[in-house]
Amino acid sequence: MPHTAQQFASDNYAGICPEAWDAMAQANRGHAPAYGDDPWTDAAADAFRRLFDTDCEVFFAFNGTAANSLALAALCQSYHSVICSSSAHVETDECGAPEFFSNGSKLLVAQTADGKLTPQAVRALATSRSDIHFPKTRAVTITQPTETGQVYTIAEIEALSATCRELGLRLHMDGARFANACATLGCSPAAMTWQAGVDVLCFGGTKNGMGVGEAILFFDRALAQDFDYRCKQAGQLASKMRFLAAPWVGLLDSGAWVRNAAHANACAQRVAQRVADLPGIGLMFPVEANAVFLQAPESVLAGLRERGWRFYTFIGGGARFMFAWDADPDRVEALIADIRAAALAEDLVPA
């Protein structure tokens, strides 16, 4: 099968990083008990507890939609509601799975520019209704970094969690790119989560260098009651669980999780810095993680497509470029050169 040149349309176009792959190969030596009753699953859960410096409950799922949906379902009854931002993956990209797995908990959407929720937005939605006819607000979900690549500061998370506590809400974090946020802030995973008041985290493995898999961490262990049954019922209990668990051991114990993310972030920074001066080109959002959203005339986007680049334009018509753990510096340079060429060619066209 031929390899195609790297594209930056999505960070899940990338393959599996060596640390995750090696751990899979080790787990593949011989047999092991099924359904998580194996040494790799224990080792992965322990690696998370060490990394987060707390005795959390750890579960593994195949993908982020399941992780988010089941985590939110664990926080809610069917008559509850969950506050999220208008660009949240749970709202825009999970086909109603959070509502489905919670048997109907409603998502309450706050309109935000950069995908970040604020205490004010949470308070406004949570207090807008308190009558029996409206679903009772129960949880808040934030995406760190957001779908457009903004990173909540620890102070912002603390302010949100304080509002949640005051209003009796639980705080969930969709960390599909959690490692990228850690790399940006240079803080410990603990500081960004349970120490800041996050109750449940979905930690993304797929976009961090694994082939498949996400981890769900309950910092409040009581919230994890019967979560194993919830996973099984949803088709998320892997019988050969060691292959979902082992790559985490490779990623976490080697430090690859944060190295991978830092590399991806650096590539995004590089592109942002090298195209910001171009006529007609703008950054739609500050570049704080591994995403670059370019605002550019349609003719420039067409020029990029002609030069062979793939990208999505589903947010505001701008071009999204996402950098993965293995972004090839030469391809990043080629992208920069082509963005420059396309923009400057456009600039030469007489008005």
Q: How far is the CB of 290 from ligand PLP (least distance, A)?
A: 11
Exactly one of 102, 148, 180, 206 binds ligand PLP (CB under 6 A); that residue is 206
Nearer to ligand PLP, 167 or 185 (CB): 185
Q: How far is the CB of 63 from ligand PLP (least distance, A)?
A: 3
Q: How far is the CB of 150 from ligand PLP (least distance, A)?
A: 12
Backbone angles phi, psi at 93, to 5 degrees: -135, 20
Nearer to ligand PLP, 9 or 341 (CB): 9
Exactly one of 80, 89, 138, 320 binds ligand PLP (CB under 6 A); that residue is 89
**Distance, CA of 248 to CA of 214 (rounded, Å):** 9
**Contacting range for ligand PLP; rule: CB under 6 A; set: 61-69, 76-84, 149-157, 192-200:** 61-69
Query: Under the criterion CB under 6 A, does residue 64 sit at the interface with ligand PLP?
Result: yes
Closest CA to 123 of 113, 134, 108, 133: 108
Query: Under the criterion CB under 6 A, does residue 172 sit at the interface with ligand PLP?
Result: no
Q: How far is the CB of 177 from ligand PLP (least distance, A)?
A: 6
Nearer to ligand PLP, 112 or 278 (CB): 112
Distance of CA 122 to the CA centre of its chain: 21
State the Cα torsion 38-42-47-52 to the nearest 10°: 150
**Distance, CA of 149 to CA of 73 (rounded, Å):** 26
Q: How many Å is the Cα radius of gyration of the chain?
A: 21
Give the three-state DSSP class for 143: strand
Query: Under the criterion CB under 6 A, does residue 174 sit at the interface with ligand PLP?
Result: yes
Query: Under the criterion CB under 6 A, does residue 87 sit at the interface with ligand PLP?
Result: no
Beta bridge partners of 142: 173
Are 295 and 320 spatial neighbours (Cβ–Cβ below 8 Å)? Answer: no
Q: How far is the CB of 248 from ligand PLP (least distance, A)?
A: 15
Q: What number of chain residues touch ligand PLP (CB under 6 A)? A: 11
**Distance, CA of 238 to CA of 241 (rounded, Å):** 5
By the criterion CB under 6 A, which residues form the site for ligand PLP?
63-65, 68, 89, 143, 147, 174, 176, 206-207
